[in-house]
Chain A
């Protein structure tokens, strides 16, 4: 089962390599990992999607927590989190197929962001399951290239990860 873990880390050199190294050497799976700055430029947020049983995910959390650069960690349940992924997908679509691809994109609320005589590039941001569905539906049109960001997520409602910087 896929689980989403939100991790606040110090925004400094080497942190990403420490996190990915940790997953590799402890034999944990990473389905996706997205990282970017937060409202505080000294802090980055990593959203990690990993699969494993309860014991494995608990270990992932503990090992991540143990890292000196980790500030706060929280597991986000699918039902209580807004999860999004961005995809750019370039499909083969000449004059005859353009209309069909544009129709599919429209159903998803996706945008066509680039066009050539033989291809269309579709951009879409949605829940990861919906992104998978979009890919499935576009597969018959010969997918040339795909770029996905990996999932980012925030808790629904007023709740946050609850990190309060400690005063030095």
Chain B
């Protein structure tokens, strides 16, 4: 006989889980008690939401579903933002929550929350466990659902009595029973052929790369297709880094905050091949007009994304890695030399605003470009949300590393916990979190987590003492009526870092940055660099 909690730990070990991000409470204590002697590492965060973000960062580097845990009621409810963030960006998570005793469900007892109900719109699937003997099967299914097809978060809610109840594990099967879940991976051959003839006929074909290429780990397949077929490509923010920024076939990031030459390419293309992208409103503001101008090929593992925001000429359901490979295998070649030259001209003519500010202060775009160039090729940059996100996404140079950010949900406070998770997933790689002073203050409590668990992430705080993105919006849309966007001069970020035992430095002028960045990256443990910038700096 074993208990539900023991079964859960055994099932997690069977999935090769060796780290859990979490925050305990009474309702999850039976599980934590078993976890203590399991050999699975537990990272105690400072707020449950950050357990979810840290697991997200871990999963994005590790490639497999990562686990976060919280107690019932407020613990579980605090997780929701992280679940929603992961859901929007298709990140595979398995979230485990404690729940009040199953005989008390529905009576509104202390720390009871209907978490499976509340998280329903933000999870790929969820379980409320009613029988401990179901745990081996449920855990097996949860990892399978989270990690296959279009990845996403799966929630397992475990009443405390189910964790404690004993059952005879000898004849309990863990075989999946998912008769309604059959994700398609391979593209339909007829559709692939239609794509090939569209490529041959097109004068101005363009690949549009989304986050699906990265979650399918299809960077190599993408590069091979671009090179063998001679296709130009742009990326969404989530697709950033799928091709190296310096690749001759790469023409930048599209969208509201993207590169003008990338948006030019999208506007001019007569064939748009969208791979693993949702055609979200930030990437394409007028999808209807786009559909009228160009033929649209939409390749996605989730059939429900195809045709949702943009009419599609040729839909292809399949995993990006498989479909890109299928396309390369056809030997298709684009005939678009003039188009490539035109795109190249536009790219060359673009002058990014990277120069030092004449009157002192720091140019955030130039600064972030320098940061990315100072980092190793395979390093990980975790962007937060706000102006800092557009500065980072628009200016970093990607050379085989990864850029992680909350793209779909735009969740402030993502970068520090996600960086902790990413660093733990691959301790050999440099990990830098870039946040603003607003987003920093949303998860600065996790500095303690980085110190306690000795996770040597580097944190850059772009401090303009304001909520720059909203301030800029108020400038443009509300005649400069700035309201509720000034954060004031408190806290002293370096003094705060010192309080957490983290070495830090503050730079105020472009001339100081090279040396400060080098010193930041050379620090053995967690370290912080505050970068003072003017609130007048524009996003673009």
Contact residue among B128, B180, B303 (Cβ-Cβ distance under 8 Å from A10)? B180
Contact B304 A68 (CB under 8 A): no
Question: Which residues in B have their C-beta under 8 angstroms from that of A160?
Answer: none
Among B121, B124, B128, point to the contact of A21 (Cβ < 8 A): B121
Q: Are the CB atoms of B304 and A168 closer together than 8 Å?
A: no
Distance between Cα atoms of A17 and B304 in the complex (Å): 20
**A8 closest partner in B (C-beta):** B180
The one of B121, B179, B304, B307 in contact with A66, judged by C-beta atoms closer than 8 angstroms, is: B304
**What sequence of 0s and 1s flags, for each residue 136-167 of chain A, a beta carbon within 8 Å of any chain B beta carbon?**
00000000000000000000000000000110
How far is A10 from B177 in the complex, measured between Cα atoms in Å? 11
Q: Is the CB of A65 within 8 A of B304?
A: yes
- The answer to whether A68 and B120 touch across the interface, beta carbons within 8 angstroms, is no
CA–CA, A165 and B116, complex, Å? 27
Identity of the chain A residue whose Cβ is nearest the Cβ of B141 in the assembled complex: A68
A69 within 8 A of B: yes
Contact B180 A71, beta carbon cutoff 8 Å = yes
Q: Distance (Å) between the CB of B497 and the closest chain A CB?
A: 41
A25 close to B (CB within 8 Å) = yes
A17–B308 contact, CB under 8 A? no
Contact indicator A58/B307 (Cβ below 8 Å): yes
Question: Does B117 sit within 8 A of A, measured CB to CB?
Answer: yes
B114-133 interface bits toward A, Cβ cutoff 8 Å, 1 = contact, 0 = none: 00110011001100100000
Most interface-central of B145, B179, B181, B307 (chain A CB within 10 A): B179
Does A70 reach chain B (CB closer than 8 Å)? yes
Report how far A57 CA is from B176 CA in the complex, Å: 31
Chain B interfacial residues counted at CB < 8 A: 21
Instruction: Please give, as numbers and ranges, the residues of chain A lying within 8 Å of B112 by CB-CB distance.
Output: none
List the count of A-B residue pairs having beta carbons below 8 Å apart: 45
* Interface check A14, CB cutoff 8 A: yes
Contact of B117 among A17, A25, A68 (CB under 8 A): A17
Is B1 an interface residue, CB under 8 A from the partner?
Answer: no
Q: What CA separation (Å) do A105 and B181 show in the bound complex?
A: 47
Chain A residues contacting B117 (CB-CB under 8 Å) are 17
Interchain CB contact (< 8 A) of B124 among A55, A65, A68, A166? A68
CB atoms of B178 and A66 under 8 A apart: no
Q: Which residues of B contact A67 (CB under 8 A)?
A: 180
Q: How far in angstroms is the closest Cβ of chain B from A43?
A: 9
In this complex, what residue of A is CB-closest to B124?
A68
Contact (A66, B120) CB under 8 Å given A9-B180, A168-B175: no
Range, interface on chain A:
20 to 34
Task: Judge whether B120 and A21 touch: CB under 8 Å.
Answer: yes
| Residue in B closest to A18 when the chains form the complex, CB atoms | B120
A166-B179 contact, Cβ under 8 Å, with A68-B125, A68-B145: yes
Residues of B with C-beta under 8 A to A13: 128
Chain B 241-282 near chain A by CB (<8 Å), digits 1 or 0 = 000000000000000000000000000000000000000000
Contact between B125 and A63 (Cβ–Cβ < 8 Å)? no
Mark out the residues of chain A between 18 and 42 whose CB falls within 8 Å of any chain B CB in the assembled complex: 18, 21, 25
A111 on the interface (CB 8 Å rule)?
no
B116 touches A25 (CB 8 A): no
A91 to chain B, nearest CB (A): 39
Partner pick for B180 among A17, A21, A63, A69, CB 8 A cutoff: A69
For residue A106, CB closer than 8 A to chain B, the reply is no
Q: Does B182 contact A (CB under 8 A)?
A: yes
- With contacts A67-B180, A69-B180, A166-B179 known, is A25 near B121, CB below 8 A? yes
Give chain A nearest CB distance to B333 CB in angstroms. Answer: 33
Q: A65 vs B302: C-alpha distance in the bound complex, in angstroms?
A: 10
Q: Is the CB of A59 within 8 A of B308?
A: yes
CB of A111 to closest CB in B, whole Å = 39
Decide yes or no: A17 and B181 within 8 Å by CB, A65-B303, A66-B304 being known contacts. Answer: no
Can you spell out 9 A-B residue pairs with CB atoms less than 8 angstroms apart?
A21-B120, A55-B307, A59-B304, A59-B308, A63-B304, A68-B181, A69-B180, A70-B180, A168-B176
Known: A59-B308, A66-B303. 8 other contacts (CB 8 A): A9-B180, A62-B307, A63-B304, A65-B303, A68-B178, A68-B181, A168-B176, A168-B179
